[in-house]
Amino acid sequence: MKTFKTKTISQLIISAAFLWGVQHARADVLADIKPLQDRWAEVNYSMAEDDREKAFAKLLADADTVVAQNPGKAEALIWRGIIKSSYANAKGGLGALSVAEASKADLEQALKTDATALQGSAYTSLGVLFAKVPGWPIGFGDEDKAEELLKKALEINPDGIDPNYFYGDYLLSKRDYKGALSYLEKAKAAAPRPGRESADAGRQQEIAMLLAKVQKKLQKK
């Protein structure tokens, strides 16, 4: 019995130490990605369109550093993927496709590492890429794949502002105006995210614009 108790206590100590290490590492990566999140919101919502491409290029260099400092961390990969996606959007044209491909690679790697990281944000961002990038033979865009990924994001974070907004946007593109209205209203009612005030404010402006568009479409029916 003494041997069993000693072994059990040792196992508990090892388990506790492991969990502390995991939590500490997670806290570190969350602290590292916070400046990326803040700067992304600033560039995306407060900067003139003509200035965004250069700003996102610089932010991408910062994201590379964060990923290098946090090897194997899904959170860092997700945010580099988001920044690459935004950079591709600001860049535009065929030159943006290689950046979009790189974003896809980061987000797919994040899903392999931890699909639930940042409340399933990799599913959301990857779904948006598949929805927005042109399809074959130009790019990898795929509307069915986009819907599948966006629905998975909603399974993980059903009340989140981003998954509801982007699925509402997807349904709007499919002319499902009633469905779009439902998800956009849910996005509008989403709880504020602590520390993401600027991003929430910018997203709420986008939600308001899409809601106005959806309501206009419904009035014509």
pLDDT, tens digit, 9 for 90 and up, residues 35-88: 999 999 999 999 999 999 999 999 999 999 999 999 999 999 999 999 999 999
Task: Check whether 15 has a pLDDT greater than 90.
Answer: no
Residues linked to residue 135 through DSSP beta bridges, in sequence order: 141
Give 156's pLDDT tier (boundaries 50, 70, 90): very high
Q: Is 120 left (phi over 0), alpha (psi -120 to 50) or beta?
A: left
Task: Check whether 11 has a pLDDT greater than 80.
Answer: no
> 97 and 138 in contact (C-beta within 8 Å)?
yes
CA distance 159 to 149: 16
CA distance 167 to 116: 18
pTM of the model: 0.87
Long-range contacts of 101-107 (CB under 8 A, 24+ apart): 101/140, 103/129, 104/129, 104/140, 105/81, 106/77, 106/78, 106/80, 106/81, 107/77, 107/78, 107/81
Give 220's pLDDT tier (boundaries 50, 70, 90): confident
Task: Check whether 164 has a pLDDT greater than 80.
Answer: yes
Task: Check whether 3 has a pLDDT greater than 70.
Answer: no
Give 9's pLDDT tier (boundaries 50, 70, 90): low
Q: What is the per-residue pLDDT across 104-151, written as a single tens digit (0 to 9) for each?
A: 999 999 999 999 999 999 999 999 999 999 999 999 999 999 999 999
Q: What is the per-residue pLDDT across 19-45, written as a single tens digit (0 to 9) for each?
A: 334 444 467 899 999 999 999 999 999
The average pLDDT across 194-201 equals: 96
pLDDT for the residue 195: 95
**DSSP helix, strand, coil percent of the chain (3-state; round to 5):** 85, 0, 15
pLDDT for the residue 93: 86
pLDDT for the residue 194: 94
pLDDT for the residue 139: 95
pLDDT for the residue 8: 62
| DSSP per residue, 165-190 | HHHHHHHHHTT-HHHHHHHHHHHHTP
CA distance 200 to 208: 12
Residue type, 188: K
